[in-house]
Amino acid sequence: QQPVQSPQAVILREGEDAVINCSSSKALYSVHWYRQKHGEAPVFLMILLKGGEQKGHEKISASFNEKKQQSSLYLTASQLSYSGTYFCGTDLLMTDKLIFGTGTRLQVFP
Amino acid sequence: DTEVTQTPKHLVMGMTNKKSLKCEQHMGHRAMYWYKQKAKKPPELMFVYSYEKLSINESVPSRFSPECPNSSLLNLHLHALQPEDSALYLCASSQDGRVPYNEQFFGPGTRLTVL
């Protein structure tokens, strides 16, 4: 039931782009994205609802394809501050439980 | 105030001890959560309180006992824990318990070590 993220880890230079994928074996109603820096709390990035919408602001955006039960997070022109572990979180309709994905560790170097 | 606070930051306890973790928020949120996070793993949901009532218990062992004294406070009482319970315990809150429509605000966590 836990969503699977790919890749497991990404290493980037500042200014490079990255895509993180999140796949579920079950139908989804919404997808959340969070970033957690080492030793810190997870921080909310965005929620995408069923409907295939794409959301985001500035250089971080995401898409949700409910037919494929997948979401992707797009990081454009990465900055050092983007380093951390990214988790997608999924919920099944009517459960009101957020189940976090396996995580993707992103490191951005100068 | 958009902060969730947790105390203590660190806790070391023996298997026979009784201790409590505390979580507080002043954002007027009506849903509060406990998660357990092992190193290099995602947070795992333990309990959900919605409007001060326990709404979800993810089959957590009875040695963990949650309590929600009021809408701003959430406690996790610990008793007779095992070494494998050592982890980071995260508290979170959201406007209400409807996951699709609400972001969750996380506290910094309590790092628990059971000897």
pLDDT digits (tens, 9 = 90+) for B35-85: 999 999 999 999 999 999 999 999 999 999 999 999 999 999 999 999 999
Q: What pLDDT does A57 receive? A: 66
Nearest to B45 among A40, A97, A103 (CB): A97
Check if the beta carbon of residue B28 is closer than 8 Å to that of residue B77.
Answer: no
Q: List A86's β-bridge partners, or say none.
A: A35, A104
Mean of the per-residue pLDDT values of chain B: 94
Cβ contact (<8 Å) for A98 and B99? yes
Cβ contact (<8 Å) for B99 and A30? yes
CB contacts of A64 in chain B (<8 Å) are none
Nearest-CA distance from B91 to chain A in Å?
A: 9
Tokens 């849903």 belong to residue: B31
B97 touching chain A per CB within 8 A: yes
Among A22, A55, A92, A96, the strongest candidate for a mutation testing the B interface, having the largest count of B CBs within 10 A, is A96
Q: What pLDDT does B101 receive? A: 83
Q: What pLDDT does B25 receive? A: 96
Check if the beta carbon of residue A56 is closer than 8 Å to that of residue A97.
Answer: no
C-alpha–C-alpha distance, residues B33 and B105, integer Å: 10
Nearest to B56 among A87, A97, A102 (CB): A97
C-alpha–C-alpha distance, residues A14 and B40, integer Å: 24
Nearest-CA distance from B92 to chain A in Å?
A: 9
Sequence letter at residue B111: R
CB contacts of A43 in chain B (<8 Å) are 106
Give me the half-sphere count of Cα atoms (radius 13 Å) on the Cβ side of residue A71.
37
Q: For residue B64, give Cα distances in angstroms to A35, A64, B77, B101.
A: 27, 36, 6, 29
Q: What pLDDT does A8 receive? A: 97
Tokens 């994928």 belong to residue: A21
Instruction: Using the predicted structure, report yes or no on whether residue A106 has a pLDDT greater than 70.
Output: yes
Q: What is the mean pLDDT of residues B90-106?
A: 91
| DSSP-derived secondary structure for A71-109 | EEEEE-S--GGG-EEEEEEEE-TTT---EE---EEEEEE
Among B40, B48, B99, the strongest candidate for a mutation testing the A interface, having the largest count of A CBs within 10 A, is B99
Q: What pLDDT does A53 receive? A: 63
Question: In this predicted model, what pLDDT tens digit does every residue of A40-99 receive, in sequence order?
Answer: 999 999 999 877 566 666 789 998 888 889 999 999 999 999 999 999 999 877 788 899
Q: What pLDDT does B97 receive? A: 84
Nearest-CA distance from A69 to chain B in Å?
A: 15
Question: In this predicted model, what pLDDT tens digit does every residue of B1-22 receive, in sequence order?
Answer: 669 999 999 999 998 899 999 9
Q: What pLDDT does B85 receive? A: 97
Of A6-20, A44-58, B15-29, B86-100, where does mean pLDDT reach its minimum? A44-58
DSSP state, B83? G
CB contacts of A97 in chain B (<8 Å) are 45, 48, 56, 58, 99
Of A7-16, A71-80, B27-36, B97-106, where does mean pLDDT reach its minimum? B97-106
